Structure 1
Amino acid sequence: MLRRLIRCPGPGPGPAPARWLRPGSLPASARSVVTAVPLAHAEFGSDRDRPPLVLLHGLFGNRGNFQTVAKALVQRGAGKVLTLDARNHGSSPHSPLMTYEAMSLDVQQLLSRLGITKCILLGHSMGGKTAMTLALQQPGLVERLISVDISPAITTPVSEFSAYISAMKSVKIPDGVSRSAARQMADDQLRPVVQHPELRQFLLTNLVEVEGRCVWRVNLEAISHHLSDIMNFPVFHKPYPGPALFLGGSSSRYISSQDYPEIQRLFPRADVQYIEGAGHIVHQDKFEEFITAVVKFLALP
């Protein structure tokens, strides 16, 4: 069941130009040091008379998290769908910089390389904030936006990610053990901090074997160093004028009523909706309801 909370009015006159930097970040003269990395991606479906849909995963995830979603949306008429690995995740390169300005630039470079001049963005959690950043920076590039269970607000109060990162860093796996044995050992070591089995299994998808050693494929150092940036959101003054959907889980705390004013300020044409019974990973908890909500917003046949 889908529960709609607010429907924002159409956009009014925009105020001052957007700022790309969050408080305390590098000055404008240093923006040139932010360089894009070539993102790994996968494509599903084929071009139709609509912009491609780009799916952006959350923290500790990878493009595989949205593979089933991508295939389902292609079957429902979405045309071409792209899934991406964010920098420091999946098969994309590692980089010491992990900010939304940098991750937005990565997506822009990929779209440019693929010859895409207009797209639809759907992002979950960290991917949602990346999508919002790109839409606010380059509104002409984004036809419409879907942010899954995240808002343009500070998420530190509801986040346990710092503890998860510390637990992952402390995992010790002897060289030469089998992949299955390594996963079991890592699972046992994570359990005292990451108590939910499903969450541990999600984090363990990042445990890979490289030259006989088990390592984390996510760049924990970069993520740890920039965790405050990931939990925060850049400062913008000019709103995104296109349609937007903030699709949360009713059992999650990542889109609260306290976030509505900022959503309305930056995304004046936004709908805020909740899927009943879904937690933070909405597309996993209530897959059919999630697909139905996305299809309706995209006005697919």
Structure 2
Amino acid sequence: MPQFEVDGATLTYDDEGPRDGGGVPLVFVHGWTANRHRWDHQTAYFSVRRRVVRLDLRGHGDSTGAGVRTIEEVARDVLALLDHLEIERCVLIGHSMGGMTAQTVALSHPERVERLVLVNSISRMAYNPGRALLMAASTLVPFKLFIAANIQRAFAPGYPREEVRAYVEASGGISREVVMTLYGAMRDFDVLDRVGEIRVPTLLVHGSHDVQLPVKQMLRMATAYPDAVVRMVDAGHELPVEKPAELTAAIDRFLSDGA
């Protein structure tokens, strides 16, 4: 379990697969309250033939640290990992908040990104009534209840309850400070007017039952991208674990032919 130090935090990552051939490395960035194991299926599949890197963001999973209050600061941690591993250029793949982070990296350091994959992510946070209600209640309800409510509604109807409970329990090790400051960071995130600057091929994969970040918000983003492909999957917001094989296949096709 390799780690490195950056700005008072110890970040944990995995670096797997061959170093030569197969194209530039794939770098996976998880979302809010998750960890690097959201990408287990994709890592197992792609690391057979190319280098795959994934990390636990600050304060998540096996990483320590807090104090990150903007998506730009999260992006700096990802860039620090690329520097630490001497990765000059990569395919950057992000889920939800990780997709926001990936877009931020692509905008601030376009030379580091060869292709971009955004999974259940958007470029400007907008709240539907349910999400707005959760936001308003975030300071009024017990912290664990707030976390549980957000995670439970992320999954499509019919997803096994015992598995949802496992993800709720796994989030219990994340501090209130990390959870709430990053919740605020997502609330303030807005690069929609800038995504036209991202000129690399981009894949947008979204769950058709996503109520956290609804499809119409993603489609608004898609129209702003100069070179984007959209793939819809019958899933909710947690696409990497709800339909892992379908997501992996979509990424594989995109990497193979860009379509």
1:95 matched residue in structure 2: 66
1:219 matched residue in structure 2: 175
CA contact (8 A) 1:167 1:190 kept: no
Q: Which has the larger radius of gyration?
A: 1
Unaligned runs of 5+ in 1: 1-33, 172-188, 208-216
CA contact (8 A) 1:38 1:110 kept: no
Alignment of 1:1-301 (within 5 A): 37-49=9-21, 50-75=23-48, 77=49, 79-157=50-128, 159=131, 162=135, 169=143, 197=161, 198-207=163-172, 217-235=173-191, 237=194, 239-253=197-211, 254-265=213-224, 267-275=225-233, 277-299=234-256
1:256 Cα shift?
Answer: 2.5
Shift in CA distance, 165/141, structure 1 to aligned 2, threshold 3 Å: farther
**TM-score normalised by the chain length of structure 1:** 0.69
Q: Deviations over 1:119-166 (max 9, x none)?
A: 111111111111111111111100001000111121433537656787
Shift in CA distance, 257/220, structure 1 to aligned 2, threshold 3 Å: same
**Identity of aligned pairs, percent?**
28
CA contact (8 A) 1:62 1:84 kept: yes
Aligned residues: 236
After the TM superposition, which of the residue ranges 102-111 and 279-288 deviates more from structure 2?
279-288
- Aligned mates of 1:53, 1:273 — CA distance in 2: 19
1:212 matched residue in structure 2: none
- Aligned mates of 2:93, 2:54 — CA distance in 1: 10
Say which SS state the counterpart of residue 235 (structure 2) adopts: coil
Q: Which has the higher contact order (CA 8 A, sep 6+)?
A: 1
1:281 Cα shift?
Answer: 1.2
Shift in CA distance, 227/190, structure 1 to aligned 2, threshold 3 Å: closer
Shift in CA distance, 262/251, structure 1 to aligned 2, threshold 3 Å: closer
- Aligned mates of 1:298, 1:194 — CA distance in 2: 32
Shift in CA distance, 130/170, structure 1 to aligned 2, threshold 3 Å: closer
2:3 matched residue in structure 1: none
Say which SS state the counterpart of residue 95 (structure 1) adopts: coil
CA contact (8 A) 2:122 2:217 kept: no
Q: Deviations over 1:156-186 (max 9, x none)?
A: 3353765678766357xxxxxxxxxxxxxxx
Unaligned runs of 5+ in 2: 1-5, 156-160
1:178 matched residue in structure 2: none
- When the two chains are superposed, the root-mean-square deviation of aligned CA atoms in Å is 2.9
Which amino acid is the alignment partner of residue 254 of structure 2?
F
